[in-house]
Amino acid sequence: MAKIFCIANQKGGVGKTTTTVNLAAGLAKVGQRVLMIDLDPQGNATMGSGVDKRKLELTIYDVLLESATVAEAIVKSEKLIAAGCGYDILGANRELAGAEVELVDVERREKRLKLALAEVDGAYDFILIDCPPSLSMLTLNGLCCANGVIVPMQCEYFALEGLTDLVNTIKQVHANLNKDLAIIGLLRVMFDPRITLQQQVSEQLKTHFGGKVFDTVIPRNVRLAEAPSYGVPGVVFDPSSKGAQAFIAFAQEMVERIEKM
């Protein structure tokens, strides 16, 4: 059975999409079968995986409204396959913004994604879901079908405040909708060891969350930031960069952590 993880944080601009596409590419590179689901109407994870969101015939929108199956809506990126990091993509575009309104009156609306993924469960080792930066019906669909949440966060004061909100949300979903849901780990991203505050916040995280903090730290890296403009994850764009190497290490840590679960 596939392990399903949401990459979520209610604070925007913390590197959720960068984490999702690079972890997907990293896992594919270490031999895992991966499906990446873009649940954000901006479609950044879709574009960052080498797929033009404007040319998609079927998207996650069609899956949520049950007008297409997951298998029908999946696309692949030739760029990623050529680089040896190929993963399946369930893309998104602006249409998805309308799903919020259309799902309001639908029964089992928060379980739509869970039901749809049941049919492809055996085809993957990992399913990664890039969530929008708000607690919307889309995010709720992701959380309801996930085994756990990976939280990318910058080591800054406001990030700690956002983390408190997210932990409370996860507790509520765990209590009412998904008994399997838990925080798998906190991933420190855009980390600059020269900044004293970041080191202090990093230590605070380790003190409060202990083993929930991933050992891998993703450094602030220009190559990771440049990669989306070329339509590929940083792991593909510049495999030798510090950021790409960190994500490969993170993918290996994820595989090891899941084996122990």
At which residue do the structure tokens 């590929």 appear?
Answer: 232
Q: Which of 172, 173, 171, 152 is nearest to 162 (CA)?
A: 152
What local confidence, expressed as pLDDT, does residue 10 receive?
81
What local confidence, expressed as pLDDT, does residue 200 receive?
93
What local confidence, expressed as pLDDT, does residue 127 receive?
98
Q: Measured between alpha carbons, how far is 27 from 197 in angstroms, rounded to an integer?
A: 31
- Strand spans (E) along 59-212: 88-90, 126-130, 148-153, 183-191
- Whole-prediction pTM: 0.95
Q: Measured between alpha carbons, how far is 103 from 95 in angstroms, rounded to an integer?
A: 13
What local confidence, expressed as pLDDT, does residue 16 receive?
94
Q: How far is CA 86 from the centre of its chain?
A: 16
SS3 204: helix
What local confidence, expressed as pLDDT, does residue 178 receive?
95
Give the distance between the most distant pair of CA atoms in the chain: 52
What local confidence, expressed as pLDDT, does residue 165 receive?
84
Structure confidence by residue, pLDDT tens digits, 35-92: 999 999 999 999 999 999 999 999 999 999 999 999 999 999 999 999 999 999 999 9
SS3 230: helix
Contacts of 103 (CB under 8 A, 6+ apart): 64, 65, 109, 112, 137
| Per-residue pLDDT in tens (0 to 9) along the chain, 261 residues | 899 999 998 887 888 999 999 999 999 999 999 999 999 999 999 999 999 999 999 999 999 999 999 999 999 999 999 999 999 999 999 999 988 889 888 888 999 999 999 999 899 999 999 999 888 899 999 999 999 999 999 998 877 777 888 899 999 999 999 999 999 999 999 999 899 999 999 999 999 899 999 999 999 999 999 999 999 999 999 999 999 999 999 999 999 998 887
What local confidence, expressed as pLDDT, does residue 7 receive?
96
What local confidence, expressed as pLDDT, does residue 260 receive?
83
CB-side exposure of 5: number of CA atoms within 13 Å? Answer: 28
Q: Measured between alpha carbons, how far is 78 from 66 in angstroms, rounded to an integer?
A: 27
Number of Cβ within a 10 Å radius of residue 228: 19
